[in-house]
Amino acid sequence: MNYCRKCGAKLEEDAKFCPTCGTPVNVTATSNYARRKEKAPVFLPALILMALLFSAFIIIAAFMYMPINPVSFS
């Protein structure tokens, strides 16, 4: 299945122009767009996981180096 390289709309097999945006169809570019679209979902969860781990590391490090002073109620 081919997709438009500009807007991502589905294209007919014999289409010369995108029916949505009018961009000329290039067969090699459309197949590259489809491959990039398949790989994208793996990148986002990995990025979110790395951000969460980094945030947890910063919070734990902040608590480790925080001075602990006893509280006196007298």
Q: Go through 24-41 and write b for each residue having 16 or more CB atoms within 10 A of its CB, e for each that does not.
A: ebeeeebeebeeeeeeee
pLDDT at 16 over 60: yes
Q: How far apart are the first and last CA of the chain?
A: 77
C-alpha to C-alpha distance for 32 and 26, rounded to whole angstroms: 10
Q: Where are the beta strands (DSSP E) in the chain?
A: 2-3, 10-11
What Rg, from alpha-carbon coordinates, does the chain have? Answer: 25
Express each pLDDT in 27-69 by its tens digit.
Answer: 554 455 555 555 556 778 889 999 999 999 999 998 888 877 7
Tell me the pTM: 0.38
